[in-house]
Amino acid sequence: MSTDAIEASGDPRFSVTAESGIWHLTMSGRWTTMRIALVDPLLRALELPQDGQAVIDCTEVEALDTAGAWLIDRTERALSQRGVSVALENIEHNQNQLLMTVRANDAECPEPPAPTNAFIALVERVGMATVQAAIEARDLLNFLGHAVIVLGRSIRHPGNVRMTSLVHHIEQAGLNALPIVGLISFLIGIVLAFQGAEQLSKFGAQIFTVNIVSQGILREMGVLLTAIMLAGRSGSAFTAQIGTMKVREEVDAMRTIGLDPMEVLVLPRIWALVISLPLLAFFANIMGLLGGAIMATVVLDVTFFQFARQLSGAVTLWTFWIGIIKAPVFGFIIGLVGCYEGMRVSGSAESVGRMTTRAVVESIFLVIVLDALFSILFAVLGV
Amino acid sequence: MSNTILDISGLRTQFGASVIHDNLVLKVQPGEIMGIVGGSGTGKSVLLRTILGLNKPAAGKIKMFGEDITDCPDEERRKVLRRMGVLFQDGALFSSMTVAQNIEVPLAEHTDISPELRAEISDVKINLVGLPLDAANKYPSELSGGMRKRAGLARALALDPEILFLDEPTAGLDPIGAARFDELIRELRDALGLTVMMVTHDLDSLNAICDRIAVLLDKRIKVGTMQELMADDHPWLHDYFHGPRARAAQDTVAGTENT
């Protein structure tokens, strides 16, 4: 048994002598894993005799473990490969047992595969990623189709919607998001008003700050910020919840009982977002305008009353609707991607984390792409 | 001074108000295989985690190799750590590394051994635990549960520990795999002079390889050989060692010894 591993006195050592044609390797000290690094390079570099007889003397070996035994075994084997007949001398019974065990287990494992050419590896990765993206797009489309069918069925038979679950998710994703969505929207209103005022004051047109704030918040920022918040807050939560259920085989258990996970898990979540996102976006609009109004009164010397009058001239009802129309679509996409990635979790807890990240990135990406498409659509329609 | 390798005295662990162990005493002698058993919730795993230092006891002393490890500087702890090996339930291999790399982690962390020798030592350990050679370059996710345990054992053995802790080594293995694993542990104990402490639910393991058994009863520990504990008239022990499963396990062992 090794005692204090730091103690220097027991360091492993060896010496070589050649007496009357017999090559002698005398080992001493503690040949253990902790200290073996001291002798390994020396032993590796040792010049071995080409033929004749050799003796490995272990009289003074104080301790031996598998690493030490391996070194002895390796040296012994190197000698016999050169045609030297080797004898082990004075090895303790226990140490010999250990040496036998190591000797019986000295097969060499295959080398790790060599890394491929960097250029080929790059091409391979690009190709794999492309194919992967295509497969994923197809699967997501597939999931979309499935979700639409189930969604359509739920509209025809509203009794099939799990009300408890739906209300729960509306509370989680909608009601509980009110403070953070409101705060962010309020702050963005302030920022917009401040930046707008700074630029417009150069033309003496500060009052048009109200137009910038109201158009910006109602058409774009209110709904977009809400959607991004929900993607981060609820989309990821959906993936994690459904993913964890998949890992624990709860989803499989549901299927065997005859429950359709699409109906039980996915549908209430998507509905919850479709319902709460427009409501949250409305709230965000109000808070954003409020932020703008407060900033306007503080910085621009525009009274609240003036702000309201300017506002009624700056926006039409359509400005408001353009923002709100997008909200259920964004909600649908966020819910869809969140649930889709959750259903794709397989096996390990690690995959839950990976899929959650993907869900957030993908849903924010899709929300912004859709937003751009909506802009084009509205431009074409001329609203 | 006795040559006790692990000496626990007056150990008390508690979570909030619930006391798991109270005034627990346990001594483990070098070279023995000790099994830890107990009903669900009696704190077998907690005891193991406390010994490993993953859990701080509320009171008491744990001495390993004569060193008090409940309260000692980090440098001392590191010295103790590299003299022990741990196999967690599912191997707890680092998933981003191959099996060979996993085994080399403790070697790289605690010694100055050159990369060549590290690879050679990991080859020996892979063979020693009975893994196929091509497992060396596989990732944990590509291995079966039994192979992951063997790989975890190889990593636990990397530094040639003097004491080995196993958490339910045979859980989740089929009976043949479990019997082989038991056999492997006994062989390693004999070959490497290990002391083994294992938490287990497997009556066959207890029967086949454990020299002594520590039973967690009423927040304390009762230690004895299988025969001694079977003769004990504590109701839980009686149920445990005389239940239908226990009889079946003993019959198998008796049967194999007779033939």
Q: Where are the domains of chain B?
A: 31-58+73-83+161-259, 95-160
Inter-chain CB proximity A101 and B128 less than 8 Å: yes
Distance in Å, alpha carbon of A103 to nearest chain B alpha carbon: 9
Q: What is the topology classification, in CATH, of domain B31-58+73-83+161-259?
A: Rossmann fold (3.40.50)
Q: What is the pLDDT of residue B255?
A: 52
Dihedral sign, Cα of residue B21, residue B27, residue B30, residue B33? negative
Q: Give the mutation candidate from B64, B82, B104, B124 for the A interface (greatest A CB count, under 10 A).
A: B124
Residues in chain A closer than 8 A to B136 (CB atoms): 109-110, 112
Tell me if A141 is assigned to some domain.
Answer: no
Q: What is the pLDDT of residue B185?
A: 87
Q: What is the pLDDT of residue A5?
A: 44
Tell whether A66 and A209 lie within a shared domain. no
**Closest to B124 (Cβ–Cβ): which among A97, A106, A347?**
A106
Tell me which residues of chain B have a C-beta less than 8 Å from any C-beta of chain A. Answer: 30, 79, 82-83, 95, 98, 100, 107, 110-114, 116-117, 120-128, 133-137, 141, 157-160, 162, 190-193
Tell whether A36 and A165 lie within a shared domain. no
pLDDT over threshold 60, residue A112: yes
| Confidence band, pLDDT 50/70/90 cuts, at residue B259 | very low
Q: Which of A60-74, A160-174, A236-250, B66-80 has the lowest mean pLDDT?
A: B66-80
DSSP assignment letter at B254: H
Other beta carbons within 10 angstroms of residue A138's beta carbon come to 10
pLDDT over threshold 60, residue A4: no
Q: Give the mutation candidate from A39, A66, A70 for the B interface (greatest B CB count, under 10 A).
A: A66
Tell whether A292 and A154 lie within a shared domain. yes
Over the stretch A170-201, which tens digit does the pLDDT of each residue have? 999 999 999 999 999 999 999 999 998 888 88
Q: Please tell me whether residue B214 adopts helix, strand or coil conformation.
A: strand
* A64 touches A101 (CB < 8 A): no
The percent of residues in chain A predicted with pLDDT above 90, rounded, is 47
Over the stretch A323-334, which tens digit does the pLDDT of each residue have? 999 999 999 999
Other beta carbons within 10 angstroms of residue B103's beta carbon come to 29
Q: What is the pLDDT of residue A355?
A: 94
Inter-chain CB proximity B137 and A105 less than 8 Å: no
Tell whether A95 and A150 lie within a shared domain. no
Tell me if A259 is assigned to some domain.
Answer: yes
Distance in Å, alpha carbon of A315 to nearest chain B alpha carbon: 56
Tell me if A4 is assigned to some domain.
Answer: no
Tell me if A351 is assigned to some domain.
Answer: yes
3-state secondary structure chain A: CCCCCCCCCCCCEEEEEEECCEEEEEEEEEECCCCHHHCHHHHHHCCCCCCEEEEEEEEEEEEECHHHHHHHHHHHHHHHHCCEEEEEECCCHHHHHHHHHHHHCCCCCCCCCCCCCHHHHHHHHHHHHHHHHHHHHHHHHHHHHHHHHHHHHHHHCHHHCCHHHHHHHHHHHCHHHHHHHHHHHHHHHHHHHHHHHHHHHHHCCHHHHHHHHHHHHHHHHHHHHHHHHHHHHHHHHHHHHHHHHHHCCHHHHHHHHCCCHHHHHHHHHHHHHHHHHHHHHHHHHHHHHHHHHHHHHHHCCCCHHHHHHHHHHHCCHHHHHHHHHHHHHHHHHHHHHHHHHHHHCCCCHHHHHHHHHHHHHHHHHHHHHHHHHHHHHHHHHCC
Cα B128 to Cα A54, A236, B183, distances in angstroms:
28, 45, 12
Tell whether A212 and A309 lie within a shared domain. yes
Tell me if A195 is assigned to some domain.
Answer: yes
Tell whether A196 and A95 lie within a shared domain. no
End-of-domain residue from the set A73, A104, A135: A104
- Domain encompassing residue A374: 146-381
Tell whether A332 and A230 lie within a shared domain. yes
Number of domains in chain A: 2
Tell whether A213 and A357 lie within a shared domain. yes
Burial of A78 (0-12, 13-18, 19+ CB in 10 A): middle
In this structure, what token pair is assigned to residue B247?
A: 């009889």
Q: What is the pLDDT of residue A369?
A: 96
pLDDT over threshold 70, residue A6: no
pLDDT over threshold 80, residue B258: no
Tell whether A50 and A166 lie within a shared domain. no
